[in-house]
Amino acid sequence: MTKNIAVIEGDGIGPEIIAEAVKALKKIEKKYNHTFNLTYVEMGGCAIDKYKTALPDFTLEECKKADAVLLGSVGGPKWDDPTAKVRPEQGLLNLRAGLECFANIRPAKVYPPLAAASPLKESIIKDGFDIIVVRELTGGIYFGESGRDGDSAYDTERYSVSEIERIAKVAFELADKRNKLVHSIDKANVLESSRLWRETVQRLAKEYPHITVTNMLVDNAAMQLIRNPAQFDVVLTSNIFGDILSDEASQITGSIGMLASASKGEGSRGLYEPIHGSAPDIAGKGIANPIAAILSVAMMLDISFDLKEEANAIDNAVNSILADGYRTADIAAANEKTTGTEQIGTLICDRI
């Protein structure tokens, strides 16, 4: 298989963690006889410094031509002026828009060796959990009509059938590769937009009779994520509910430095990145955790390239080095020895 990948290193620790992610990608390339053509382009604070824009036109064009995009983290104090006309985060928003990414896919997984890092009781997570939150990214209350009227303000939640259908299809297709289970989260007992959401999902579910679909109200879902996260597999929900629930799910894993994400639209192309920030305070020190970036590569292989075996090889390698006690500083207990960024990347590659 030959694939073209646009690589954006980003700011802060971005170049360090992306270097290790690329190292893992090259190991997969060699072991499984694939060809991955990499094109490096710039976005974020570094692009502002060099080109006066967070997302140069040539970067967007290269990303559109690519089969997938691998992204580090962007931003930092240097560009953190809320009054600035150009900010690093604009690059990410414009890139998602340019690639027509309407689906945000965020896994939340507890690796058994890191179970103690979860804030949940051991009795709750003893069997682990592996969840993917599929969040609609370009509609809903964040994009509805809003404004001020005298001493009141309003924001409008609006969804169309086509918007719900396309995000639901992403969830069903992911579930088809996993455990054939989807929880669709809404507030259909109160919101008309949620009633349309539930009606549309239930109708579309008839096209996937082998997948079990459970409807759940968002307040109950928030509680159930804490009470029994293992009951979930693929969680499908709207923009605002997904924003909240994906953050909750990421925190109950206990290790934000371990979590990857994807944003995608129609077709196979996706944008893959760790959910953590650019951590400029530790940039250049060789102590950043590259595992989320490496797992972003695993997501890319699985979701965009349909290379499940290769993706599992990376995931298993990560679990293996964690089981052997290797830790970066962010996931190490007080008495545990830490391992640097490059060393962790090498150890994972050696286990693939």
For residue 114, which of 346, 273, 320 has the smallest C-alpha distance? 320
What tokens were used for 148? 């001020």
Q: Of 252, 284, 317, which closes a domain?
A: 252
End-to-end Cα, the chain, rounded Å:
18
Q: What pLDDT does 125 receive?
A: 86
Q: What pLDDT does 256 receive?
A: 83
Same domain, 170 and 64: no
From CA 32, how far away is CA 149, in angstroms rounded? Answer: 60
Q: What pLDDT does 115 receive?
A: 85
In a domain, residue 258? The reply is: no
In a domain, residue 65? The reply is: yes
3-state secondary structure the chain: CEEEEEEECCCCCHHHHHHHHHHHHHHHHHHHCCEEEEEEECCCHHHHHHHCCCCCHHHHHHHHHCCEEEECCCCCHHHCCCCCCCCHHHHHHHHHHHCCCCEEEEEEECCHHHHHHCCCCHHHHCCCCEEEEEEECCCHHHCCCEEEECCEEEECCCCCHHHHHHHHHHHHHHHHHCCCEEEEEECCCCCHHHHHHHHHHHHHHCCCCCCEEEEEEHHHHHHHHHHCHHHCCEEEECHHHHHHHHHHHHHHCCCHHHCEEEEECCCCCEEEEECCCCCHHHCCCCCCCCHHHHHHHHHHHHHHCCCHHHHHHHHHHHHHHHHCCCCCHHHCCCCCCCCCHHHHHHHHHHHC
Which residue among the candidates 32, 64, 169, 247 is catalytic per the annotation?
A: 247
Q: Of 223, 252, 281, which closes a domain?
A: 252
**Radius of gyration (Cα) for the chain, nearest Å?**
20
337 catalytic per annotation: no
In a domain, residue 220? The reply is: yes
Same domain, 281 and 191: no
Each residue's pLDDT expressed in tens, for the chain with a length of 352 residues:
999 999 999 999 999 999 999 999 999 999 999 999 999 999 999 999 999 999 999 999 999 999 999 999 999 999 988 888 999 989 998 999 999 999 999 999 988 888 888 899 988 888 788 999 999 999 999 989 999 999 999 999 999 999 999 999 999 999 998 999 999 999 999 999 999 999 999 999 999 999 999 999 999 999 999 999 999 999 999 999 999 999 999 889 888 889 999 999 988 999 999 999 999 999 999 999 999 999 999 999 999 999 999 999 999 999 999 999 999 998 888 788 899 999 999 999 999 9
Same domain, 41 and 83: yes
Q: What pLDDT does 198 receive?
A: 98
187 catalytic per annotation: yes
In a domain, residue 257? The reply is: no
In a domain, residue 217? The reply is: yes
Position 172: which residue type? F
Range of the domain at 74: 1-118+266-352
Q: What pLDDT does 47 receive?
A: 97
Same domain, 127 and 245: yes
Same domain, 218 and 304: no
Same domain, 152 and 248: yes
In a domain, residue 189? The reply is: yes
Which residue among the candidates 3, 27, 109, 187 is catalytic per the annotation?
A: 187
Same domain, 245 and 312: no
Same domain, 54 and 84: yes
154 catalytic per annotation: no
In a domain, residue 204? The reply is: yes
Position 124: which residue type? I
CATH number of the domain at 303, please.
3.40.718.10
Same domain, 113 and 125: no
Same domain, 205 and 278: no
81 catalytic per annotation: no
Same domain, 337 and 278: yes
Q: What pLDDT does 293 receive?
A: 97
Q: Of 252, 284, 301, which closes a domain?
A: 252
Q: What pLDDT does 218 receive?
A: 98
Domains held by the chain: number: 2
219 catalytic per annotation: yes
Same domain, 299 and 283: yes
In a domain, residue 261? The reply is: no
Which residue among the candidates 11, 186, 243, 302 is catalytic per the annotation?
A: 243
Which residue among the candidates 32, 40, 51, 142 is catalytic per the annotation?
A: 142
For residue 54, which of 63, 62, 45 has the smallest C-alpha distance? 45
Q: What pLDDT does 130 receive?
A: 93
